[in-house]
Structure 1
């Protein structure tokens, strides 16, 4: 969080932007940082398990596992990072995810210049994001677990969008990223399974894009249209149109079956809201305003989603946010009543919930 009596954090964060780079000043900064002679701490030894997990959001064993996978993609010796070890590069990036926008803190934490810290965060985030296909997978094994929540059958996943706050990219296209609540954001679509793990994440649409627009232009929709997931359903809120494979709740239920359908639908769909909440608390960087260029923001969103799944798959306990997070946005989406296909929903209500 920024202090009210200092602009130093803003000045630091501006150095991260792709549109503000100065080779000479970066070089001078690198020389000054190298000349300080920081002795980097072995946090694996100096911190106990609980403190390590709180600071870096992953425990020691998961950091070691992740480090092994990242080693082929991490630069160890170059003019850009002055020999910062892969472990310290990873820990610096994880610390940035934990603190949100305080890049100056993570630079001092490991003993590097601000520009070096920015490059490390960029490189490590991109390397983790490239592991997407390994850890974020659409599968059909959660139907039984979804059913246990509220008795809703044949559920593939819950779907929703969440806004990730950013600074205005530039004056030319900036207004495209201003959402209906007035701030700049990326509107990120995700689906999750019953274990609160991401199965698909789309992080390329500006904040002004409607949830239904994002879905209609996604590969996920094309897969659903092609019948790739059989008779499974996605559960979405009223921002989405009904489809044979995407069911929403009923705005004005009348019959007992419709009320039971709504109750089961809402309880089951809540899994995606819980997933977003756990993700943002573990990695506050995606809950606060990111003052970075769009490619860096997108890499961080995907990287933290990958890390979220790693934590869930290894049953790592939730950890509270280390910084104060903004209140959760209130969902006020308006239902798009055009081209609704409610036949599948009506059939389900008549045959199952009535």
Structure 2
């Protein structure tokens, strides 16, 4: 990320990060008068700037270790992880950063045209490609699983042997995410996870325009708005019969 890009992102998230910090600090205003007369809890090494919290979150999301960030910024492990969640909350509350598949036929046609330009077969109705990915997590505690109203095993992907969340994402030809949903644990199939998404409901209610469809692999079902591969395209079974 360029230095200028970081600060543009910070300007958008600064207020949300600070609001998240204040909401989660667990300190009540006390005393008389409007807002009370009080002193906030002391900060041993001074206040931590929102830019530091954003930098910690970005580096953590890129795979950085919280322990490296502790040494880099002179903060505790707790502060690093708190900063990550403050940034997550700030992003989730910023409407400008909502990711939702476009409703308009013009936008869908534009996406389809981009796919057509790289299609050797001249396919001109692909207005997005969908696939699932396992977002790895540590094994959730019993309490965390109970909070999600399911057992720990629901987060285990048997095929990959890892705990995680089933993420469904639609992208354009450049890989830019057009829609994203995380509603199920890693044990869920892509088809079921997609049918739990908001995008599925929108598609069922006529989201796709001008004959455009989303392309997916054979983990999904062939419908009026979803194109999946035909079976035996390579003709292997026919060859074996000969």
* Same fold (TM > 0.5): yes
Seen in structure 2, the aligned counterparts of structure 1 residues 149 and 131 have a Cα distance that, compared at 3 Å, is farther
**Contact kept in structure 2, 1:146 and 1:194, CA below 8 Å:** yes
Q: Deviations over 1:159-201 (max 9, x none)?
A: 0100011111124621111112221111100001122111111
1:176 to 154, 164, 167: 154
Which structure 1 segments of 5+ residues have no match? Answer: 1-57, 256-354
**Contact kept in structure 2, 1:159 and 1:189, CA below 8 Å:** yes
SS at match of 2:157: coil
Seen in structure 2, the aligned counterparts of structure 1 residues 94 and 217 have a Cα distance that, compared at 3 Å, is closer
Question: In the comparison of the two structures, how many residue pairs are matched?
Answer: 197
Match of 2:105 in 1: none
More helix by share: 1
SS at match of 2:48: coil
1:143 correspondence with 2:107: no
TM-score (norm 1): 0.52
Aligned-residue offset at 1:218: 1.7
Match of 1:46 in 2: none
Give the distance between the partners of 2:42 and 2:223, measured in 1 at CA.
51
Match of 1:130 in 2: 93
Give the distance between the partners of 1:80 and 1:158, measured in 2 at CA.
51
**Contact kept in structure 2, 1:92 and 1:107, CA below 8 Å:** no
1:92 to 29, 32, 56: 56
Aligned-residue offset at 1:142: 0.8
Give the distance between the partners of 1:68 and 1:103, measured in 2 at CA.
24
Which structure 2 segments of 5+ residues have no match? Answer: 23-39, 103-107, 146-150, 236-242
Cα RMSD, aligned residues only: 2.2
1:237 correspondence with 2:217: yes
Give the distance between the partners of 1:120 and 1:134, measured in 2 at CA.
19
Indicate the structure (1 or 2) with the bigger Cα radius of gyration: 2
Match of 2:8 in 1: 65
